[in-house]
Amino acid sequence: MPDSHEYDDGNLLLETAKPKVKPPKRYQVVLLNDDYTPMDFVVEVLQRFFGMDEMKASAVMLAVHHDGKGVCGVFSREVAEMKVQQVNQYSRQHKHPLMCQLEVA
């Protein structure tokens, strides 16, 4: 049996190609409020892991304190997962219940 391409009648068939790559999803790293983690510790976490200066970190910490949760940053999945793990591990090491989680942006 010959290959099907040998039956090619020479007509060019043009189809609209579907885009092969979608833009990568972005992931929000979200900090949750709790009643026990000291405010200073949250500010330190935001500076250490998210590169915020003290003013920005204080503003984000207070927003989380008042609203229940808040976005620390938006990253690729790999980077967001790493930040969540680092923040949660750092908080456990310091015996604070501070929780950080990942959400699709």
Residues that bind ligand TYC (CB under 6 A): 31-35, 37-39, 42, 61, 64-65, 98
Contact yes or no for 31/64 (Cβ under 8 A): yes
- Taking the least distance from each CB to ligand TYC, the nearer of 27 and 61 is 61
Rounded least distance, CB 36 to ligand TYC, Å = 7
Length of the chain: 105
Rounded least distance, CB 20 to ligand TYC, Å = 40
- Taking the least distance from each CB to ligand TYC, the nearer of 63 and 82 is 63
Q: At CA 55, angle to CA 99 and CA 104, rounded to 5?
A: 40
- Taking the least distance from each CB to ligand TYC, the nearer of 42 and 84 is 42
Rounded least distance, CB 82 to ligand TYC, Å = 19
Q: What is the DSSP letter of 35?
A: S
Residue 80: which of 55, 100, 97, 94 has the closest Cα? Answer: 100
- Taking the least distance from each CB to ligand TYC, the nearer of 61 and 84 is 61
Residue 48: which of 5, 100, 105 has the closest Cα? Answer: 100
